[in-house]
Amino acid sequence: MKFTQYGEPMTRIPSITLCFIRATIFFNKRVSKHPARTFGTINIITYIKNNSSMLIRSIACLILFTCNTVIAGGFSYPENPNDRLIGKKPDQHHYIFAKHKETLLDIARNFDIGQIEILLANPTVDRWLPGRNTQVKIPNSRLLPDTPHEGIVLNLAEFRLYYYPEKIEGQGRQVITHPISIGRVDWETPLGKTQIIAKKKDPTWTPPESIRKEHEAKGDILPAVFPAGSDNPLGLFALRLGVPGYLIHGTNKPFGVGMQVSHGCIRMYPEDIEKIFPNVTVGTPVYIVNQPIKVGWSENILYVEVYQGLKDNKLSYEEKLDIALALIEQANNYQMPVIDGQALKLAIVQSDGVPVPVYRTNIYYH
């Protein structure tokens, strides 16, 4: 079953007057001490500093300010119901400048990205000390998984949750996406369809005996019950799945989000689960899939998006190629197009989760 859409990130643009006031304050207080964080306008800081006109400086800073007001995680749907790319076009690279003592993990959380995702996007940047003014690439586009587009979808291969809220009358539909942590090799997150069966704010946690014994073997004695609060491993919000013992919840260890580190549950940044918790209702369907290769259209361009795969389920280059070719043929009305073979090879070799164009047509028949 397919129901795919295309969209652009929703932006929050204040009034022009307020923008100019904020931009001027931003310049006077920040630019002289800390390089502005931009989405790729690398030379604009130099331009600002070299012009004495406050009006020009304010306009330039306004551009920087509004570029950073993207609502994290929220994307609108496309007009074409068969398109699957959300976010900006993949060739529109977005960058920011690292601050002094800021780690890649700090940046990842600021932009709602998981740890592995930001490391793959910046393979030459030091994880713990990028260095002041170092350019850091921010992933800003992705293909929707091949699932029904309803409820919650968890694609384990990309460490990401997709939430399809009910359409609000008078507004376009949205898809909301956030990074997640999943079960490690010896505590796998199960695949299949389930649903939300309960919600709990300020949950307590009673560690199962298996987890208590694991920690005890390492000299870490867990309490019988973790009380509610920010130090609770479940965080402040929990959504119970129909699969016994499994939850979608917050965490007291946010730097682990976007990795294969949990005991099977789905961990989210505390701020992310706080946003979706009020809107997710009991009975919401949940699809748990493992799709390391995704294929989808955006207008007349067919994209392939490849991930490394889970630790216990790594695919060879040949296996990835076979899957990608089958998905490309399927997406093109079961006719194999003349694709860009070099682009497909690069996407598989890098396996960095970036949508790569492999075919372009002048006919919108998909």
Cα–Cα dist 347/46, whole Å: 35
What length does the chain have? 366
249 is catalytic: yes
C-alpha–C-alpha distance, residues 54 and 361, integer Å: 47
Find how far residue 154's CA is from the centre of its chain.
11
Q: Quote the DSSP letter at residue 168.
A: P
Instruction: Please report the DSSP string for 73-123 in residue order.
Output: EEEEPPSSTTB-EEES-TTS--EEEPPTT--HHHHHHHTT--HHHHHHH-T
DSSP 3-state of 141: strand
DSSP helix, strand, coil percent of the chain (3-state; round to 5): 25, 25, 50
The DSSP bridge pattern shows strands 285-289 and 192-201 to be: antiparallel
Respond yes or no: is residue 265 known to be catalytic. Answer: yes
Catalytic residue among 19, 61, 67, 265: 265
Catalytic residue among 19, 249, 263, 366: 249
Cα-based distances in Å from 12 to 164, 192, 226: 20, 36, 39
Catalytic residues: 249, 265
